[in-house]
């Protein structure tokens, strides 16, 4: 199916919005595009004013008009020479308009949304592997990138704004994508970035502490996650919709109750699971288990490490089963996949000890990763870890405590301090540690912290570099510096090996 970007009669475009008012008649206004950023406006565009967390888009109307905007969607009347359409909520209106403008693309896509504190990126990549094994054309949107087949596009947010989303889905349909997998963050659900997305399947991975800077309580955070399930299948189109829920998570019942659609539960320990892993074996080479499903049982021998990976595989397999993918394709894909960039990624640079780069930046993910490493490490475990600035402060002492509990030596360092004082972040972390009995060091400079760990590690030891995973930058103040944990570790190891020659 080839879709072209339409030039639309503004009045027609607004037909999905029931209540709005205009300053001048808009009967003959044709628009060539929609933008919410005045800097991106091109001649003939509609500019949508969003009042954001940092600035108010209404203040950029003049710039938008200078750049060629021929109409404005706003939350208040404005004194300008082009038609102004006013609505009570421009973010919501934008989601509706974007959906209409791009011809409701998700109605023609098999769309799977994944939410939860940890595992969203991992599950979307497992889905991609499974669907590709079943010879489907795939699309993916998440923390690392937007993908159409093997083509990659940059993203600013894990779940982009509604305009970017609908444009991406339209692009996917142009490229004949059958199924798309996307991470749905709690921020996006609260901000309505996914309004207009017609999800066929919604997956819940787990809920543990994070983002308490944005959601004031865990209850609010849970409620945000539940929106994906309460909004599932709002527009009945005759196709079955499924909520896939990790029943071993203590919040599962709330999510099950929040949806009116069919529910498939997965897990290991709970009663009456639809998809269950049994005989789980974990070791330094990966994981193996039997997966019982409503359509048969398969044995899986995967290279993915840790119990959390077993949960991710169950989640992806459950969604694939609901999508009609064969157990054979699921089994083959799970057995051949080697994991995602920056998630439990080994650094192999000729050293005699292990180095693992992992995106653990929450208390729960850090605990999972360190427990997994500790379970097979023959020597000492070192962890290099920091906590992001301008993010949940209350997770800092918990992450530090987790680090010293499971590692033999923890090196507390910087991880995107952003506008905060890196020393204060480190102080917040150290609050969680009993300095008398627990082994840690504070080394603010991340490169030096990695260097310390790598220089001290001996054969059979393992160094875990946590928190930044695939990231290739370090944000300090307003400046974004190049920084890639994998590259930095490799360079330091090479220097050490050179000296030893
Ligand atoms: C707090 C938050 O979520 N902010 C998001 C929000 O930005 P904002 O409200 O600050 O926007 P703003 O800068 O005030 O601008 C308001 C409006 O004015 C417009 N503007 C602005 C300047 C100008 O010159 N002209 C102009 O027209 C902007 O285009 C915008 O429409 O809207 C932007 C566009 O959609 C987002 O990129 C931005 O995400 C920021 C970068 C962010 O860091 N968000 C994080 C907290 C987030 O959303 N994270 C989740 C993942 C969490 C997880 O790991 O689970 C995510 O989905 O990414
Ligand atoms: N199911 C899981 N349960 C707990 N921890 C997990 C799980 N899956 C992955 N992890 C850990 O969490 C880290 C982040 O995983 P992943 O990137 O898949 O999560 P995410 O939900 O996409 O995170 P983000 O919110 O930053 O987008 C991994 O590096 C790993 O340490
Ligand atoms: N999506 C998460 C990623 C955190 C990654 C970590 N490296 C940090 O910068 O805190 C956030 O924006 O909170
Ligand atoms: Mg992610």
For atom 13 of ligand 3, the residue with the nearest CA is 391
* Residue partners of 183: CB distance under 8 A and separation at least 6: 113, 114, 115, 120, 121, 124, 141, 142, 143, 158, 159
Do 159 and 13 lie in one domain? The reply is no
pLDDT of 2 reads 46
Long-range contacts of 474-479 (CB under 8 A, 24+ apart): 474/414, 474/415, 474/416, 474/446, 475/389, 475/416, 475/417, 475/418, 476/414, 476/416, 476/417, 476/418, 476/422, 477/417, 477/418, 477/419, 478/419
171 part of a folded domain = yes
Q: Which of 336, 361, 382 is the last residue of a domain?
A: 336
485 part of a folded domain = yes
Pocket residues: Cβ below 6 A from ligand 1: 36-39, 50, 52-55, 57, 60, 156-159, 161, 185, 187-188
Domain extent at residue 58: 8-101
Q: Cα(174) to centroid of ligand 1, in Å?
A: 27
For atom 10 of ligand 3, the residue with the nearest CA is 388
Q: Which of 120, 343, 361 to mutate to test the pocket of ligand 3 (most atoms within 8 A of CB)?
A: 361
Do 214 and 329 lie in one domain? The reply is yes
* Residue partners of 137: CB distance under 8 A and separation at least 6: 149, 175, 176, 177, 178, 179
Do 34 and 180 lie in one domain? The reply is no
Give yes or no for residue 470 CB within 6 A of ligand 2. Answer: no
Q: Cα(313) to centroid of ligand 3, in Å?
A: 23
ipTM above 0.95, yes or no: yes
Q: Which bound ligand lies closest to the C-alpha atom of 359?
A: 2
- Which atom number of ligand 3 is nearest to the Cα of residue 387? 10
Give yes or no for residue 465 CB within 6 A of ligand 2. Answer: no
Q: Which bound ligand lies closest to the C-alpha atom of 418?
A: 3
3 part of a folded domain = no
Give yes or no for residue 369 CB within 6 A of ligand 2. Answer: yes
- Torsional sign, CA 319, 323, 328, 329: negative
Residue 118 labelled as part of a binding site: yes
Residue 472 labelled as part of a binding site: no
Give yes or no for residue 205 CB within 6 A of ligand 2. Answer: yes
Task: State if pTM tops 0.80.
Answer: yes
For atom 17 of ligand 2, the residue with the nearest CA is 121
Q: Which of 336, 365, 400 is the last residue of a domain?
A: 336
For atom 48 of ligand 1, the residue with the nearest CA is 187
Q: Which bound ligand lies closest to the C-alpha atom of 157?
A: 1
For atom 16 of ligand 1, the residue with the nearest CA is 52
Domain count, the chain: 3
Buried/exposed code over 314-346 (b: 16+ C-beta within 10 A; e: otherwise): bbbbbbbbbbebebebbbbbbbebebbebbbbe
Do 267 and 165 lie in one domain? The reply is yes
Do 181 and 273 lie in one domain? The reply is yes
- Which atom number of ligand 2 is nearest to the Cα of residue 342? 29
* Residue partners of 351: CB distance under 8 A and separation at least 6: 454, 457, 493, 496, 497
Q: Which of 58, 65, 157 to mutate to test the pocket of ligand 1 (most atoms within 8 A of CB)?
A: 157
Give yes or no for residue 210 CB within 6 A of ligand 3. Answer: no
pLDDT of 259 reads 97
DSSP state of 410: E
244 part of a folded domain = yes
Do 313 and 432 lie in one domain? The reply is no
2 part of a folded domain = no
Residue 193 labelled as part of a binding site: yes
Do 17 and 55 lie in one domain? The reply is yes
pLDDT of 237 reads 72
Q: Cα(52) to centroid of ligand 1, in Å?
A: 7
Residue 116 labelled as part of a binding site: yes
| Nearest C-alpha neighbor of 389 from the set 411, 357, 365, 421 | 421
Q: Cα(143) to centroid of ligand 3, in Å?
A: 10
For atom 23 of ligand 2, the residue with the nearest CA is 118
pLDDT of 301 reads 98
Residue 39 labelled as part of a binding site: no
For atom 15 of ligand 1, the residue with the nearest CA is 52
Residue 158 labelled as part of a binding site: yes
Residue 423 labelled as part of a binding site: no
Q: Which of 336, 367, 385 is the last residue of a domain?
A: 336
pLDDT of 85 reads 97
CATH of residue 283: 3.40.1190.10
Give dist(CA 281, CA 279) in Å, integer. 6
Do 456 and 324 lie in one domain? The reply is no
Do 157 and 171 lie in one domain? The reply is yes
Do 147 and 28 lie in one domain? The reply is no
In order along its 501 residues, the chain shows pLDDT tens digits of 545 556 689 999 999 998 999 988 898 899 999 999 999 999 999 999 999 999 999 999 999 999 999 999 999 999 999 999 999 999 999 999 999 999 999 999 999 999 999 999 999 999 999 999 999 999 999 999 999 999 999 999 999 999 999 999 999 999 999 999 999 999 999 999 999 999 999 999 999 988 888 998 999 999 999 999 999 987 667 789 999 999 999 999 999 999 999 999 999 999 999 999 999 999 999 999 999 999 999 999 999 999 999 999 999 999 999 999 999 999 999 999 999 999 999 999 999 999 999 999 999 999 999 999 999 999 999 999 999 999 999 999 999 999 999 999 999 999 999 999 999 999 999 999 987 677 999 999 999 999 999 999 999 999 999 999 999 999 999 999 999 999 999 999 999 999 887
Do 408 and 298 lie in one domain? The reply is no
Give dist(CA 308, CA 313) in Å, integer. 9
CATH of residue 416: 3.90.190.20
For atom 7 of ligand 3, the residue with the nearest CA is 468
Do 237 and 284 lie in one domain? The reply is yes
């Amino acid at each position: 199916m080839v879709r072209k970007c339409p030039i639309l009669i503004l009045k027609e475009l607004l037909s999905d919005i029931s209540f709005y008012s205009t300053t001048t008649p808009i009967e003959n206004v044709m628009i060539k595009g929609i933008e919410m950023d005045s800097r991106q406006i091109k001649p003939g565009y509609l500019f949508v004013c969003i009042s954001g967390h940092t600035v108010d888009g209404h203040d950029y109307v003049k710039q938008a008009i200078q750049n060629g905007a021929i109409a404005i969607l706003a939350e208040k009347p404005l004194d300008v020479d082009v038609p102004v359409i006013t609505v009570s909520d421009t973010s919501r209106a934008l989601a509706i308009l974007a959906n209409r403008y791009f011809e409701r693309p998700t109605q023609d896509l098999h769309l799977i949304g994944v939410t939860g504190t940890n595992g969203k990126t991992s599950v979307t990549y497992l889905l991609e592997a499974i669907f590709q094994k079943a010879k489907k054309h795939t699309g993916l949107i998440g923390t690392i990138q937007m993908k159409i087949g093997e083509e990659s596009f940059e993203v600013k947010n894990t779940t982009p704004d509604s305009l970017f989303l609908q444009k991406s889905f339209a692009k996917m349909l142009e490229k004949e994508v059958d199924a798309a997998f996307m991470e749905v963050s709690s921020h996006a659900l609260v901000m309505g970035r996914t309004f207009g997305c017609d999800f066929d399947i919604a997956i819940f991975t787990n809920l543990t502490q994070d983002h308490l800077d944005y959601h004031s309580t865990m209850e609010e955070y849970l409620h945000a996650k539940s929106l994906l399930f309460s909004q599932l299948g709002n527009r009945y189109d005759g196709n079955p919709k499924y909520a896939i829920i990790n029943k071993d998570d203590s919040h599962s019942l709330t999510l099950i109750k929040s949806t009116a659609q069919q529910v498939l539960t997965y897990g290991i320990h709970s009663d009456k699971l639809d998809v269950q892993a049994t005989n789980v074996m974990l070791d330094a080479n990966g994981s193996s288990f039997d997966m019982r499903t409503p359509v048969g049982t398969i044995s899986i021998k995967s290279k993915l490490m840790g119990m959390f990976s077993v949960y991710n595989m169950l989640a992806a397999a459950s969604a694939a089963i609901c999508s009609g993918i064969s157990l054979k394709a699921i089994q083959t894909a799970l057995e051949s996949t080697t994991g995602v960039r920056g998630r439990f990624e080994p650094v192999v640079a000729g050293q005699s000890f292990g180095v693992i780069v992992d995106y653990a930046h929450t208390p729960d993910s850090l605990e999972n990763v360190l427990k997994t490493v500790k379970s097979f490490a023959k020597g000492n475990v070192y962890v290099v870890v920091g906590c992001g600035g301008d993010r949940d402060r209350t997770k800092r002492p918990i992450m530090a405590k987790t680090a010293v509990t499971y590692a033999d030596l923890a090196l507390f360092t910087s991880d995107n301090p952003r506008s905060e004082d890196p020393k204060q972040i480190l102080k917040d972390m150290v609050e969680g540690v009993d300095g008398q009995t627990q082994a840690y060091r504070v080394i603010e400079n991340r490169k030096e912290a990695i260097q310390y760990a790598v220089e001290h590690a001996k054969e059979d030891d393992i160094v875990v570099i946590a928190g930044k995973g695939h990231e290739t930058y370090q944000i300090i103040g307003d400046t974004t510096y190049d920084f890639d944990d994998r590259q930095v570790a490799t360079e330091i190891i090479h220097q050490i090996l050179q000296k030893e020659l």
